[in-house]
Structure formats: structure tokens, C-alpha cells
A = this chain, B = another copy of it.
Amino acid sequence: MPKSPAPLYEQIRQLIVAALAAGEWRPGDALPSEAALAERFHASSGTVRKAMDELAAAHVVERRQGAGTFVATHTAPRNPYRFLRLVADEGVTTGFTRELLHCRRARATAETARALHLRTSEPVIEVRRLLLRRGRAVVLDDLWLPERHFRGLSSEVINAYPGTLYALFEERFQVHMVRAEEKLRAVAATAEAAELLGVADGAPLLSVERVAYTYGDRAVELRRGLYHTEADHYLNELN
């Protein structure tokens, strides 16, 4: 065994992520058993297990005792909105209904280009939609996606799909979101946002700017949400 810069379990972890990025296993698929992976990577099962521990902690894979280890998916998880931290003040965990406002081709602004590592004015797809609870708009989302990874995305495609956007991206474009970074601010509602969210002009809104990453820390979505936090709040756990 050559003297290595990174520990073996870390190398194995990276090799598995690379295989996921290459599409060797798709979201929802079962991975080979730990014993099989140990043989493949010429390591003991304990070492493979440590690599899988980290992938499971990062929600990249999901283990089910007795059944196997599966690639994490947005298509049929416990919580469909895995990255949405907005919850109702009262425990009413009713889901959201969605309303698509538009989906159109556009060119990357300087800000979008920076976030997604594109060149300015590269083609992107811009999506705007509302999330509503009991008919009341709670979230106004604007999304920007690099066109080259989401070719064919349109209003029709979105409206025809029953699940969340991230599930759609996964099934239709083989883009699985692994993690995200969010920057939060309080802002005053513009006239446009106020009307769409049914609040007064200038009302305080929670602005959530998200960059989402797929396997290998590739940024593939910029999203700006405006949350109406009158009967909802953004919940965060710190440790």
C-alpha cells in the first residue's frame, strides 16, 4: 500500500462520489454491499464502512438495515422539501401548493454568473413560482439554472410534473442536489413582490439567497426566495 496523502477511507469516499457524479448509480439505486465495495477498493469492510458513515451523514446515501445502502433521492424522501427550512408557527405541517408564474430563457447577470461559475450573459433558465398554504402565498421563488444542464426545461415540463423541482431536476436532467448555502436578510417588499405575496408595499420579508450544489461541489442553481414570515418562521439548528 503506497503512502498516501489522504486516508484510505477518504479516498474511497471520493471515489464513490466520483462514481455518483459519473452516473454509475442513480438516485434511488442500491449501492453494492459493503463487502462488495471492500473487495472493489481493496480495503477492509471497516474502512468502507467509515467512508459510508460520512456519506450517510451528508445525506448522500441512505442506509436501511437489512435492505442495503441507497443513493439519496429527492423523488420519494420522507420530507419532500429537504432544503426548505420554513415551518408554520403552529405545528400545522400541511404541505404547499405550487403556482408557476413563468419559466423562460435569459442571460446570466454578473451576479448569477459569479454564483454559478458561468460567463456573464451565458444562457440560463429563469423560473418564478409561488408556494402557497391554504391559498395564501408564503414563498416567492426566483431560480436561475445554467441552460446547458437543463436543456428542455419549460413551463409545460414543470406543470406536467407532480413532484418538487429538485425531484424533477433529478429525474429529467440527472442533476441531484446534494447541499446548499443560504444567505438570509430582511428586506422591504417591492411593489411587485408585495402584490404577489399579498402583503403591504414595503412589508418586511425574509430574503433567502441559495446556491445549490450537486456531486463534487458543482454549483448548479441560484435561487432567491422571499418568505412571508408572519405565520411561519425559518428554523435552524445550531451546534
Interface residues, chain A, with chain B CB atoms under 8 Å away: 57-59, 83, 85, 178-188, 202-207, 209-210, 227, 229, 233-239
Task: Knowing A204-B188, A204-B204, say if A183 contacts B233 (CB, 8 Å).
Answer: yes
- Beyond A83-B238, A85-B238, A236-B236, whether A206 also contacts B185 by CB under 8 A is yes
Asked if residues B238 and A186 are in contact (CB atoms below 8 Å), the reply is no
In-complex Cβ contact of A58 among B202, B207, B236, B239 (8 A) = B239
Secondary structure of the A side of the interface?
A: strand
Q: Which residues of B contact A238 (CB under 8 A)?
A: 83, 85, 179-182, 210
Contact B204 A236, beta carbon cutoff 8 Å: no
Say whether, besides A238-B83, A238-B85, A239-B58, A233 and B184 are in contact (CB < 8 Å).
yes
A185 / chain B contacts, CB cutoff of 8 Å: 206, 229, 233-234
Residues of chain B within 8 A (CB-CB) of A182 are 235-238
Partner of A235, one of B83, B178, B181: B181
Q: List 20 A-B contacts (CB under 8 A).
A: A59-B239, A85-B238, A179-B238, A180-B237, A182-B238, A183-B234, A183-B235, A183-B236, A184-B233, A185-B233, A185-B234, A186-B186, A186-B187, A186-B207, A186-B227, A187-B229, A188-B204, A202-B202, A206-B206, A209-B233
Residues of B within 8 A of A209 (CB): 233
Chain B neighbourhood of A58, CB < 8 A: 239
Q: Can you name the residue of chain B whose Cβ is closest to the Cβ of A228?
A: B186
Contact in complex: B229, A184 (CB < 8 Å): yes
CB distance B239 to A179 under 8 Å? yes
> Which of A180, A204, A229 has the most C-beta atoms of chain B within 10 angstroms of its own C-beta?
A204
User: Roughly how many angstroms separate A4 CA and B210 CA in the complex, as a whole number?
Assistant: 44
Residues of chain B with a CB closer than 8 A to A183's CB: 233-236
Central interface residue in A185, A205, A234, by most chain B CB within 10 Å: A185
Contacts of A204 in B (CB 8 A): 186-188, 204-205
Residues of B within 8 A of A229 (CB): 184-187
Query: Which residues from chain B contact A234 at a C-beta distance below 8 Å?
Result: 183-185
Q: How far is the CB of A187 from chain B (nearest CB, A)?
A: 6
